Amino acid sequence: MELLYNSTRNKSEKLTASMAILKGLAEDGGLFVPEWIPKLSMDLDLLKDMSYQETAYEVMRRFLTDFTEEELKDCIRRAYDEKFDTPEIAPIHKTEDVCYLELFHGATIAFKDMALSILPHLLTTAARKNQVKGDIVILTATSGDTGKAALAGFQDVEGTRIIVFYPKNGVSPIQEKQMVTQKGGNTYVVGIRGNFDDAQTGVKKLFGDKELQREMEAAGMQFSSANSINIGRLVPQIVYYVYGYAKLYGAGEIKKGEPLNVVVPTGNFGNILAAYYAKQMGLPIGKLVCASNDNKVLYDFFQTGCYDRNREFILTTSPSMDILISSNLERLLYLISGEDDGKDAALMKELSETGRYRIDDGMRSRLSDFRGGFATEEETAKEIRRVYRESGYVLDPHTAVASCVYGKYRGESGDETKTLIASTASPYKFTRSVMEAVDERYASKGDFELVDELERLSGIRVPKAIEEIRTAPVLHDTVVEVPEMKDIVKKILGL
């Protein structure tokens, strides 16, 4: 049976999976969601022996029903190959009594690789299926990791161009160096004088700019998105939760059907939403613990039912979570409202106009699967130091936020359910924050000196992604004010 997609703000218009991937964002500003969430309906005794690629096919074929078996398997084969430094793709590291699902073994050493390695192939396949003749222009905002992973994924992919906006002073030095040294004749990186929310809001405005759309159509181009608002990003993320559960079962860590709690550090809500979708598919996930840093807008939402972005924006050592507008939360709102597109549209209008909204008691009652938590900067550094000293395992700051929140949750709730923590980035991506947390004496060293110290400390070789940028020249140095985003896009595209 074909699974169609509609906007969270308008259920009447139905699109195929390939068209939803192509469009990225609905014309009414809503996000594409499946008409229903398909069931996994596969025995764990089969899943536990499957490779990552085989698991990806079994999960994704249920969502992307207008892709043929050959098309989907080809996309998967191209995505999950030697770009990853382990054949497991997403290995599980057990330390103490905690299991970390390592999602950072791809080309840019962050979890965004898990979806952005396959999105270019899904997108170009979707373009062929729908007879798209012109160029697809990927327009995206990044809080640090999406940008580089998207740039790497789309580099020199025929029929595409990619423009990435990032907050000039809101990413780590390594993250910025990865982006501004990006090669490729179709890649463009632009810094903005503002924060991630400014970049994301600006990108959404460009998607909704009808005049710009007409100019692009006349020039044979159309926008699409590589942000997690694209359903082609979200579906591949479901895979690693299914894979993680199956591998824990296969290793004897959990019994068949035993609940597994999942802890996810998140700002934009896409990564934890993928785990929720996996649960809706029938995966035996217990609690979904949403871990925030000092920008704890999601924690406050789960505590009070009120989402309020009217607060100070705090730059932290976990910059990929420095977000006050969690775009993917809209997909959860749609589900807990009983798929009421009118209610969803009203809440999003209220957010746009006032910066806040409050959900009703009926919606709040459907949030029982979730638990919010947050870690301060001081707590995050302490957690990096604690885990290293007790086990020798080095966490990046985002994973440390999750690890700290899990410890708090376990202490407060007494819940001893087996738990999987999503480890979202390599510590090499945030060497200064990590090394200074381990020992303050590292504060005086340079960024790449710290890379070598981290290798000595962790016993893990410096990833290729870091070695490549040590001496790489800066190829992108454009920085603009937020109101200038449209002008620079038009300049890049020659409009």
Q: Which residues of 95-113 are buried (b: 16+ CB within 10 A; e: fewer)?
A: eeebbbbbbbbbbbbbbbb
User: Under 8 Å CB-to-CB from 468, ≥6 apart: which residues?
Assistant: 181
Supply the DSSP string of 193-232, one letter for each residue. Answer: ES-HHHHHHHHHHHHT-HHHHHHHHHTTEEEE--STTSHH
Supply the DSSP string of 361-391, one letter for each residue. Answer: HHHHGGGTTEEEEE--HHHHHHHHHHHHHHH
Task: Verify whether residue 491 is a known catalytic residue.
Answer: no
Report whether 81 contacts 53 (CB < 8 A): no
Identify the residue whose tokens are 């207008």.
66
Helix and strand numbers, DSSP H then E, in the chain: 22, 16
312, amino acid identity: E
Report whether 65 contacts 2 (CB < 8 A): yes
**Active site residue: 23, 112, 177, 204, which one?**
112
Residue 252 DSSP code: T
Long-range contacts, stretch 127-135, CB < 8 angstroms, 24+ apart: 127/22, 127/159, 129/18, 129/66, 129/67, 129/71, 130/18, 130/19, 130/22, 132/22, 132/222, 133/220, 134/219, 134/220, 134/221, 134/222, 135/159, 135/160, 135/161, 135/220, 135/221, 135/222
394, amino acid identity: V
Helix (H, G, I), strand (E, B) or coil at 134: coil
CA dihedral 129→133→134→140, nearest 10 degrees, is 0
Cα 420 from Cα 245, distance rounded (Å): 8
Bridge partners for 391 per DSSP: none
Q: Whats the size of the chain, residue-wise?
A: 495
C-alpha 365: how far from chain center: 26
Which tokens hold the place of 276? 């929720």
CA distances for 215 relative to 127, 221, 222, angstroms:
20, 9, 10
Which tokens hold the place of 412? 């407060």
Report whether 237 contacts 115 (CB < 8 A): yes
**Residues with active-site annotation:** 112
